[in-house]
A and B are shown apart, each in its own frame.
Chain A
Amino acid sequence: MTKTRAGGVTNFDAWKHAYAARAENLAVSEVRALFSVVSRPEVVSLAGGMPDVAALDVNLIDKAYASLMANRRNYALQYGGGQGDLRLREQIQEIMALEGIHGSVDDITVTTGSQHALELISDLFLDQGDVVLVEAPSYVGAVGIFRHKEAQIEHVFTDHDGISPEALEETAERLLSEGKRIKILYLVPNFANPSGVTLTAERRIQVLEICKRYGILIVEDNPYGQLYFDQKPPKAMRSLDEENIVYLGSFSKILSPGLRVGYVLAPPAIREKLVLANESAILSPASFAQMLVSEYLSVADWQQQIESFRQLYKAKRDAAMQAVEQYLPKVATTRPAGGFFLWLTLPEGLNSKEMLPLAVTELVAYTPGTAFYGDGRGQENIRVCFSHPTADNVKVGIERLSRVVNQQIELIETFGKVD
């Protein structure tokens, strides 16, 4: 256990001198440690963006598993190709058609969740100091990857209609005039994580035009597109353009995140490199998980299952909105038309990260807004994930959150606004 060097000094890391520079940012954090309490059933977690897998019809999974074992067992237990199972890619093609996308099976690569696809794309495109444009706020997992690649993360003003085309253009101009290399615009256009907002159809066209003009690759991440509550969101940006967009999809939210199956649709030249990068990193995506997903899509009425998820999450969204209105009258919230998240804005002076220890005491967990920015912003914001707890527990959690907010308001009133 102990790594003692000469002179009796120990620092528990004999390889400290050998790490790559980018490993410097990987340290334990107090905030992360506080999240450890969410595994206790007494704590209502509004923190992790988890689907309600208990609502998945388990008979469908059993059926898929039985079919897999009966028909493709030896393939499922074997290595596969680096691009992923062909039958699954054909099925993914059908799923993407629901978003208005027509892409070749040859241009789809299956990955270990879409997070892995984002990692591969970032690895292909980002050198140290390259700029990635993102929404404000942006997905914490993407911010983490871009930071790890030592990219410069630039948040672009985002409102209730999604990322602002005007702000995007201004940001691009400014950065280019500073001599920066802008490589990627990363977007979650539908029911974004964490804000819950959806990019309007009109803005999708404008954003695409701007990126084409400036030679910026769009990475369109769409895990929530099928989880709309009333109206379908606008067609995917990828349906408008084949050359300038890399499209990421996932089975984590419409089936199970435990299977870790996602995919990426990319123009042929990028796809070629993606497959090689995928093989280099993991040889092949997990055959068993891919084929289980494929069997599920074959034997189950998966569209009906998604419809039942829509109803479920809509009811939870309504419970969350009602609870915010009732218990947090001084807090502003977005009203998502799909997906998993509310984005709360606290009264001036409150700091969501500083409140987290109070939340542990009150048996509620949430994600502080700072997690969704690469530049320290978001202190006054909270992401509430309503998808995983029951609707009743969502209300309980928000009621507890209101106690935390009230305690913090009292502290701020006592000590004045602190920076």
Chain B
Amino acid sequence: MADLRVLVLAGGISHERDVSLKSGRRVADALTDAGISAEIREPDGDFIGHLMATRPDLVWSTLHGAVGEDGSIQDLLQLSGTPFVGSDSAGARLAWSKPVAKVLVSRNGLATPASITLPRSSFKEMNAESVLAMVGTQLTFPIIVKPAKSGSAQGLTKVSEPKAFAKAMVDAFAYGDQVLVESFIAGTELAISVIDTGNGPEALPAVEIVPESGQFGYSERYTPGQTDYYVPARLPHQVLDQAAEIALVAHKALGLRHLSRVDLIVDESGKIWFLEANVTPGMTETSLLPQAVIASGNELSETYAALARSVAKA
């Protein structure tokens, strides 16, 4: 008989629903393989009632997007008194807002690309053309334009010339009311997953991302074969050690717990830049955290089970 009953929360109404459902099924399968009972549920009208009636040992949320990462679901789970995998609401809120996360990690000594956060309201009040022109004088093209609160690279555009700036802003504003405009840093893209199965946060091997198209967009993330991943990354050991340390600093600075994924860029000089942290990393068949777990020499099922047991025991 299973020693733990886990409720895996997946789906939700968000732009990343599809990814969330895939992540949820992968987590549930891995837990089942480890002998843990896993049930997948949607955060729908029946969810709270079901949670309180069945009282699972813990909840593992793979809800991506605002519904799962802005701190709200964490608040509800805290209120229900149910243990859950992942950051608490405070940590989730800090990481979910990319501009806030950048401020916090930079105060902890990490480098992050120069950026400007632009709310939609500022464009309503001021002349958009002059705002964009001013941004253009502060940041050198190419720049990255992305929603300040979103995931899976949805609404993200690399803008190489000023004339493409406005369109990128319109695309990003379709995903939210704030847009982050960031200097583009050329270099090696790394994802470092952090996991804590009860012995303190540990950085897993860095995954180097080499998308065929040059940009790690939605299609490159979720179409098998469109991106090459190198694990461990093809960088000197001292750089990888430093990157791992930076990921842990970011994880702690944002008050994250259990698991996170920190995205970094290593530029040509070897300098490491923090881009963002994710409190609900993707767990799909092409996602980065599962790759890092396997590269660390562990089985997914064993690792996820260890995490679940550690959360239930805490």
The minimal Cβ–Cβ distance linking A358 to chain B, given in whole angstroms, is 5
For A363, what are the chain B residues with a Cβ–Cβ distance below 8 Å?
13
For A16, what are the chain B residues with a Cβ–Cβ distance below 8 Å?
225
CB pair B229 A412 closer than 8 Å = no
For A10, what are the chain B residues with a Cβ–Cβ distance below 8 Å?
228-231, 291
B124 within 8 A of A: yes
Q: In the complex, which residues 317-359 of chain A have their Cβ closer than 8 Å to any Cβ of chain B?
A: 351, 354-358
CB pair B225 A12 closer than 8 Å = yes
For A9, what are the chain B residues with a Cβ–Cβ distance below 8 Å?
228-230
How many Å lie between the Cα of A79 and that of B218 in the bound state? 43
CB pair A30 B218 closer than 8 Å = yes
For A259, what are the chain B residues with a Cβ–Cβ distance below 8 Å?
none
For A354, what are the chain B residues with a Cβ–Cβ distance below 8 Å?
170-171, 174
CB pair B154 A357 closer than 8 Å = yes
B96 within 8 A of A: no
B161 within 8 A of A: no
A70 within 8 A of B: no
CB pair A415 B174 closer than 8 Å = no
How many Å lie between the Cα of A411 and that of B171 in the bound state? 10
**Assuming the A-B contacts A28-B222, A357-B15, are A2 and B291 also in contact, with contact meaning beta carbons closer than 8 angstroms in the complex?**
yes
Contact with B along A1-14 (1 / 0, CB 8 A): 11010011111110
CB pair A11 B224 closer than 8 Å = yes
For A410, what are the chain B residues with a Cβ–Cβ distance below 8 Å?
124
CB pair A29 B219 closer than 8 Å = yes
Nearest opposing residue in chain B for A34, CB measure? B15
For B120, what are the chain A residues with a Cβ–Cβ distance below 8 Å?
414
The number of chain B residues touching the other chain, given as a range, is: 35 or more
User: How many contacting A-B pairs (Cβ < 8 A)?
Assistant: 109
Q: In the complex, which residues 170-207 of chain B have their Cβ closer than 8 Å to any Cβ of chain A?
A: 170-171, 173-175
How many Å lie between the Cα of A43 and that of B44 in the bound state? 12
**Assuming the A-B contacts A36-B18, A354-B171, A418-B167, are A11 and B228 also in contact, with contact meaning beta carbons closer than 8 angstroms in the complex?**
yes
Q: In the complex, which residues 1-53 of chain A have their Cβ closer than 8 Å to any Cβ of chain B?
A: 1-2, 4, 7-13, 16, 27-30, 33-34, 36-37, 40, 42-43
Q: Which of B21, B227, B286 contacts A36 (CB 8 A)?
A: B21
For A416, what are the chain B residues with a Cβ–Cβ distance below 8 Å?
128-129, 166
**Assuming the A-B contacts A28-B219, A30-B218, A360-B14, are A412 and B155 also in contact, with contact meaning beta carbons closer than 8 angstroms in the complex?**
no
For B18, what are the chain A residues with a Cβ–Cβ distance below 8 Å?
33, 36
CB pair B174 A1 closer than 8 Å = no
How many Å lie between the Cα of A8 and that of B224 in the bound state? 16
CB pair B123 A415 closer than 8 Å = yes
**Assuming the A-B contacts A355-B174, A415-B170, are A11 and B13 also in contact, with contact meaning beta carbons closer than 8 angstroms in the complex?**
no
A419 within 8 A of B: yes
How many Å lie between the Cα of A356 and that of B167 in the bound state? 15
For A30, what are the chain B residues with a Cβ–Cβ distance below 8 Å?
154, 217-219
For A27, what are the chain B residues with a Cβ–Cβ distance below 8 Å?
219, 223, 226
How many Å lie between the Cα of A32 and that of B124 in the bound state? 31
The minimal Cβ–Cβ distance linking B167 to chain A, given in whole angstroms, is 4
For A4, what are the chain B residues with a Cβ–Cβ distance below 8 Å?
231
How many Å lie between the Cα of A12 and that of B224 in the bound state? 5
From B285, B286, B295, name the one whose CB has the most chain A CB atoms within 10 angstroms: B286
How many Å lie between the Cα of A11 and that of B228 in the bound state? 5
B158 within 8 A of A: no
The minimal Cβ–Cβ distance linking B55 to chain A, given in whole angstroms, is 25
CB pair B169 A415 closer than 8 Å = yes
The minimal Cβ–Cβ distance linking B293 to chain A, given in whole angstroms, is 10
The minimal Cβ–Cβ distance linking B231 to chain A, given in whole angstroms, is 6
Residues of A within 8 A of B (CB): 1-2, 4, 7-13, 16, 27-30, 33-34, 36-37, 40, 42-43, 351, 354-358, 360, 363, 408, 410-412, 414-416, 418-419
Residues of B within 8 A of A (CB): 11, 13-19, 21, 42, 44, 120, 123-124, 128-129, 132, 154-155, 166-167, 169-171, 173-175, 217-219, 222-232, 234, 285-286, 290-291, 294-295, 300
Query: What are 5 A-B contacts defined by CB distance under 8 Å?
Result: A7-B230, A10-B291, A11-B228, A30-B219, A415-B169
Pairs of residues from A and B, 9 with the lowest C-beta to C-beta distance, nearest first: A13-B225, A12-B224, A418-B167, A36-B18, A13-B224, A33-B18, A357-B174, A16-B225, A415-B166
